[in-house]
Structure 1
Amino acid sequence: MAKRFNEENSLQDILKEFIQVNKLDAGMDKIDVEQAWKNLMGNGVNNYTEEVLLKRTTLYVKLSSAVLRNELSYGKDKIIRMINEEMGKEIVKSIVLR
């Protein structure tokens, strides 16, 4: 019969440990960055966003509106700061708008 440990761990702590042990941080960051984009940009931008993809430290965003792409290109540095603040660590260093 298996031993029971008296230590109580929260599910959150167990999942964090599982992610670290299995080196799944990069995959989780990809998912979290996509969600951060949706939260920060709002419905107006999300309606024209077709794809959000993180490769290493570059965020690729495919937009269906050339006008919106041009407008967002002026605020790339601010978008990078906002996403990194939302994530709690520096993940994105550059953005490519397509």
Structure 2
Amino acid sequence: MKKYNSPENSRKADVLTLKEGITALLKAYRIQGKLNETVVVSSWERIMGKAVALKTQEVYISQGKLFVRLSSAPLKHELVMAKTRVLDLINAEVGEQVIKEVVFL
């Protein structure tokens, strides 16, 4: 009869949790940055709200810059005035500085 505290059932030193394994995989393939960029683009509506998302035509990232094409000139002006706040919200969503600059088109 096996005991629950036996070495056969205990965790081995070389066994990783799923989170640690995924983090190691992303680091090994150097794709953490791309994943973070994808998270920013896909969560644009959640970060900025439904009203801004409805006026957004296109969101993409190139070389650390977030480009946002808007269909409303007054909204564009308002967001340009609050550019640093938008930048802080976006980077806070990911948990690290992924975006260095926001450009409204």
TM-score by length of 2: 0.78
Task: Give the Å deviation of 1:12.
Answer: 2.2
1:47 equivalent in alignment to 2:70: no
2:93 to 83, 86, 95: 86
In the alignment, what sits opposite 1:95? Answer: 102
In the alignment, what sits opposite 2:5? Answer: none
CA distance in 2 between partners of 1:56 and 1:13 (Å): 28
Q: Deviations over 1:25-66 (max 9, x none)?
A: 221021111134221111101111122111122110111222
In the alignment, what sits opposite 2:8? Answer: none
Letter matched to residue 61 of structure 2: L
In the alignment, what sits opposite 2:26? Answer: 19
Provide the aligned length of Structure 1 versus Structure 2.
Answer: 94
Structure 2: runs of 5 or more not aligned: 1-10
TM-score by length of 1: 0.83
CA distance in 1 between partners of 2:47 and 2:89 (Å): 8
Percent identity over paired residues: 27
Letter matched to residue 91 of structure 1: V
CA distance in 2 between partners of 1:36 and 1:90 (Å): 15
Between 1:15-24 and 1:35-44, the stretch displaced more is 35-44
CA distance in 2 between partners of 1:55 and 1:93 (Å): 11
- Structure number with larger C-alpha Rg: 2
After superposition, the CA RMSD in angstroms is: 1.8
